[in-house]
């Protein structure tokens, strides 16, 4: 995706120093555009944990690059299989909810363990990490193509009036290497000249919508309006939303969608007002092992400071201020579960399907 005329993806290897992995620091956006260096497994863990990188596909690929960094830590005394398995376990422990993380890390680990006597483990890990990035990118592109059809149809129904899409969190290219999941159809529609307008939920407490989705859409020239998280229901009642499209960190084999906290409330409002609610889900975010998201998915709990404090910019300086009485006890669950019955459909790389085990199994049994 272009940022001020230069093409970026979410993660890449430093051209001048192959011991350094580069990422866009999403903690700093939109206040400043900064690139951070990852030089060891610990750096990759921290970047994921502290949301320097975030979004299910990108944390998966960062984990995969973390495995590459693990191979650079090998020396003559290293028990290589143990070292790599420990690194994989450690990287996966950084955030519990998105399934892409374990998928991508284990992909690289398996390649390495299958070639454990190779003199070129770093090359193998790098190739595998790049494969995970390429895969996530391609899946997003396909999601964009299938989701575009949906927006085209709505645009026809509205006879060319802008299609109003409500989205929650950031499921754009920043979260996904390139294109995005929920935002890929929006970008594709905008590129084809279909008038679209996006209602951007601010997405408290970390404000991924206000900081990241607004920034992405602005860079691309897509019209958007930022709204507080609790506004969507009212807009839906007023007929000001044509479709809700969100991403997913883990979708169960039965079609329950785990996504950023607050997604469920949007789905409830959409259901009540008969507005289609879609989750854009690459197969890398579908967990075929899980049939009951409520008991089987770990919902991340994050530091209370993310709730009690808020970041902003004044006179070019980033500030963090408290927004509640001192010593307030705050709770901070990162994700919620939208039951399949509230989901109109899943926009996947293979097409739009119903959120149920039959459709998911038919398409993704391999
Ligand atoms: O906590 P985050 O910012 O990593 O959460 C991200 C989301 O909830 C996204 O909607 C999800 O990862 C889908 S991204 C393509």
Minimal CA–CA distance to 229: which of 184, 272, 199? 199
Q: Which residue's C-alpha comes closest to atom 5 of ligand 1? A: 55
Pair 172, 24: CB distance under 8 Å: no
Determine the distance separating the centroid of ligand 1 and the alpha carbon of 302, expressed in angstroms: 14
pLDDT at 116 over 80: yes
pLDDT of res. 366: 74
Q: What is the DSSP string of 95-113?
A: -SS-HHHHHHHHHHHHHHH
CB proximity list for 287: less than 8 A, separation 6 or greater: 99, 250, 251, 252, 253, 297
Query: 149 or 313: whose pLDDT is higher?
Result: 149
317 pLDDT tier (thresholds 50, 70, 90): confident
Catalytically active residues are: 249
User: What is the best residue among 202, 248, 258 to mutate for testing ligand 1's pocket, by most ligand atoms within 8 Å of CB?
Assistant: 248
Are 109 and 88 a contacting pair, CB within 8 Å? Answer: yes
Taking only the tens place, the pLDDT of each residue in 73-97 is 999 999 999 999 999 999 999 999 9
Residues counted in the chain: 366
Q: How confident is the model at residue 122 (pLDDT cuts 50, 70, 90)?
A: very high
* CATH architecture for the domain at 158-363: 3-Layer(aba) Sandwich (3.40)
Atom of ligand 1 nearest to the CA of 300: 1
* Segments making up each domain of the chain, as ranges: 2-135, 158-363
The preferred substitution site among 170, 185, 266, 279 for testing ligand 1, maximizing ligand atoms within 8 Å of CB, is 170
205-235 burial by CB neighbour count: b if 16+ within 10 A, else e? Answer: bbbbbbbbbbbbbebbebebebbebebbbeb
Q: Is 97 within 8 Å of 299 (Cβ atoms)?
A: yes
CB under 6 Å to ligand 1: residues? 54-57, 98, 169, 171, 175-176, 181, 208, 247-249, 259-260, 334
| pLDDT tens, residue by residue, 244-292 | 999 999 999 999 999 999 999 999 999 999 999 999 999 999 999 999 9
CATH no. for 2-135: 1.20.120.420
Ligand 1 atom closest to 56 (CA):
12
Task: Report cis status (omega within 30 of 0) of the bond before 209.
Answer: no
Pairing of strands 35-38, 21-24: antiparallel
The structure tokens listed for 11 are 């993660």
Query: Which alpha helices (DSSP H) does 221-325 contain, by range?
Result: 232-237, 263-272, 293-296, 305-308
pLDDT band of 2, cuts 50, 70, 90: confident
Q: Give the closest residue (by CA) to ligand 1 atom 15.
A: 171
pTM of the predicted model as reported, rounded to 2 decimal places: 0.97
CA–centroid distance, residue 279 to ligand 1 (Å): 12
Using an 8 Å Cβ cutoff, are 141 and 127 in contact? no
Q: β-strands 277-280, 243-246: how paired?
A: parallel
Q: Which regions of the chain does DSSP assign to beta strands (E)?
A: 2-3, 6-7, 11-13, 21-24, 35-38, 163-167, 196-201, 224-227, 243-246, 250-252, 257-260, 277-280, 286-287, 309-314, 317-322, 335-338, 345-348, 351-353
| Residue 25 zone, left/alpha/beta (φ > 0; ψ -120 to 50; rest) | beta
pLDDT of residue 320: 94
Q: How far is the CA of 28 from the centre of ligand 1 (A)?
A: 17
Tokens at residue 252, please?
Answer: 């169960």
Q: Give the pLDDT confidence of 97-109 residue by residue, as tens digits.
A: 999 999 999 999 9
Ligand 1 atom 14, closest CA: 171
* Mutate which of 59, 97, 169 for ligand 1 pocket (most atoms within 8 A of beta carbon): 169
pLDDT at residue 316 is higher than 90:
no
Q: Which atom of ligand 1 is nearest to the CA of 181?
A: 15
Which residue owns the Cα nearest ligand 1 atom 10? 247
Distance CA 91, CA 49 (A): 9
Cα gap 245→280, rounded to integer Å: 7
Query: How far, in Å, CA of 281 to CA of 143, rounded?
Result: 8
Model confidence at 137, pLDDT cuts 50, 70, 90, reads: very high
**159 CA distance to ligand 1 centroid (A)?**
33
Query: 172 vs 7, 185, 186, 363, CA distance in Å?
Result: 15, 10, 10, 24
Q: Give me ligand 1 centre to Cα 334, in Å.
A: 9
**pLDDT above 90: percentage of residues in the chain:** 96
Q: How far apart are CA 71 and CA 81, in angstroms?
A: 11
pLDDT of res. 179: 96
Q: 328, 205 in Cβ contact below 8 A? A: no
Contacts of 154 (CB under 8 A, 6+ apart): 163, 242, 243
Weakest-pLDDT range from 156-160, 291-295, 361-365: 361-365
114 has pLDDT over 90: yes
Q: What is the structure's pLDDT at 365?
A: 80
Atom of ligand 1 nearest to the CA of 176: 15
> Distance (Å, rounded) from C-alpha 189 to C-alpha 303?
37
Q: Which atom of ligand 1 is nearest to the CA of 172?
A: 15
Expressed in angstroms and rounded, the spacing between residue 72 Cα and the centre of ligand 1 is 29
Classify 259 as helix, strand or coil: strand
How many whole angstroms from 335 Cα to the centroid of ligand 1? 9
């Amino acid at each position: 995706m272009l940022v001020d005329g230069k093409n970026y993806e979410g993660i890449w290897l430093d051209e001048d120093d192959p011991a350094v992995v580069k990422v866009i620091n999403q903690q700093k956006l939109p206040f400043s555009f900064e690139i951070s260096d990852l030089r060891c497994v610990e750096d990759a863990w921290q970047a994921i944990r502290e949301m320097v990188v975030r979004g299910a596909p990108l944390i998966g690929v960062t984990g995969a690059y973390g495995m590459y960094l693990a191979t650079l830590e090998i020396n003559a005394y290293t028990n290589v299989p143990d070292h790599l398995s420990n690194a994989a376990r450690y990287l996966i422990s950084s955030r519990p909810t998105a399934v892409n993380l374990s998928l991508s890390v284990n992909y690289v680990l398996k390649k390495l363990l299958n070639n454990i006597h190779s003199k070129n483990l770093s090359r193998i890990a790098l190739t595998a990490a790049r494969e995970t990035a390429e895969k996530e990118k391609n899946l997003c592109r396909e999601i964009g193509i299938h989701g575009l059809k949906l927006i085209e149809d709505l645009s026809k129904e509205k006879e060319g009036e802008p299609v109003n899409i409500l989205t929650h969190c950031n499921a754009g290219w920043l979260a996904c290497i390139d294109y995005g999941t929920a935002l890929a159809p929006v970008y594709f529609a905008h590129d084809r000249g279909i008038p679209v307008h996006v209602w951007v939920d601010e997405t408290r407490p970390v404000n991924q919508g206000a900081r990241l989705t607004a920034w992405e859409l602005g860079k691309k020239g897509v019209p958007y309006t930022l709204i507080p998280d609790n506004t969507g229901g009212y807009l839906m009642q007023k007929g000001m939303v044509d479709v809700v499209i969100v991403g997913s960190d883990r979708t169960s084999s039965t079609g329950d969608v785990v996504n950023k906290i607050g997604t469920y409330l949007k789905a409830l409002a959409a259901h009540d007002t008969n507005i289609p609610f879609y989750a854009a889900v690459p197969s890398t975010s579908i967990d075929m092992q899980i049939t009951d998201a409520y008991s089987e998915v770990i919902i991340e709990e994050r530091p209370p400071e993310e709730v009690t404090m808020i970041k902003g910019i004044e006179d070019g300086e980033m500030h963090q201020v408290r927004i509640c009485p001192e010593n307030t006890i705050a709770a901070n669950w990162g994700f919620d579960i939208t039951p399949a019955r509230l989901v109109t459909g899943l926009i996947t790389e293979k097409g739009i399907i119903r959120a149920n085990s039959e459709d998911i199994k038919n398409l993704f049994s391999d």
